[in-house]
């Protein structure tokens, strides 16, 4: 497994893999333009890494979790597990969870 970084970063983006290109990467770039540090799983995980260990390391060294809720997010177990761990950490440590909901107006029929 790749050595986890001990450097604290600002954001962990919890998302479904289907939302990576359209949502996660553009949000990460926007946050980086505002001088925030962001964890991207594709930058930190390598072939053979244990996903649960990578997720735990990602959550442990981030100030905030950004939860990218979407229909894909709610239908997958890994994003829901990340959300559960973020909620537990928030209850225990007072950490903030930031909940943008991309395209939610279109999916609900609003314009």
Q: Kindly give, in sequence order, each residue whose CB lies less than 8 Å from that of residue 27, ignoring residues fewer than 6 positions away.
A: 13, 66, 68, 100
Give the Cα-Cα-Cα angle 98, 103, 106 (nearest 5 degrees). 140
pLDDT one-digit tens code per residue, 11-34: 888 888 888 888 888 888 888 888
Q: How confident is the model at residue 105 (pLDDT cuts 50, 70, 90)?
A: very low
Answer yes or no: are the C-beta atoms of 9 and 18 closer than 8 Å: no
Residue 44 lies in a domain: yes
Residue 57 lies in a domain: yes
Q: Which of 3-17, 45-59, 85-99 has the highest mean pLDDT?
A: 85-99
The one catalytic residue in 18, 24, 29, 82 is 82
Residue 30 lies in a domain: yes
Whether 82 is a known active-site residue: answer yes
Residue 4 lies in a domain: no
Residue 53 lies in a domain: yes
Residue 80 lies in a domain: yes
pLDDT of residue 3: 42
- Domain with 33 in it: 9-108
Residue 3 lies in a domain: no
Q: Considering the entire predicted model, what is its pTM?
A: 0.69
Cα–Cα distance for residue pair 85/92, rounded to 1 Å: 11
Domain count, the chain: 1
Q: How confident is the model at residue 5 (pLDDT cuts 50, 70, 90)?
A: very low
Q: How confident is the model at residue 59 (pLDDT cuts 50, 70, 90)?
A: confident
Residue 75 lies in a domain: yes
- The CATH number of whichever domain residue 57 belongs to comes to 3.40.50.10140
């Amino acid at each position: 497994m790749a050595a986890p970084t001990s450097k604290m970063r600002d954001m962990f983006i919890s998302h479904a893999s289907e939302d990576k290109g359209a949502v996660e990467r553009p949000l990460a770039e926007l946050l980086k333009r505002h001088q925030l540090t962001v964890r991207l799983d594709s930058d930190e995980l390598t072939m053979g890494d244990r996903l649960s260990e990578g997720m735990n390391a990602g959550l442990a060294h981030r100030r905030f979790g950004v939860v990218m809720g979407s229909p894909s997010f709610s239908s997958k177990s890994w994003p829901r597990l990340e959300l559960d761990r973020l909620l537990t950490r928030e209850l225990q440590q007072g950490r903030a969870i930031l909940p943008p909901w991309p395209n939610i107006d279109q999916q609900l029929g609003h314009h």
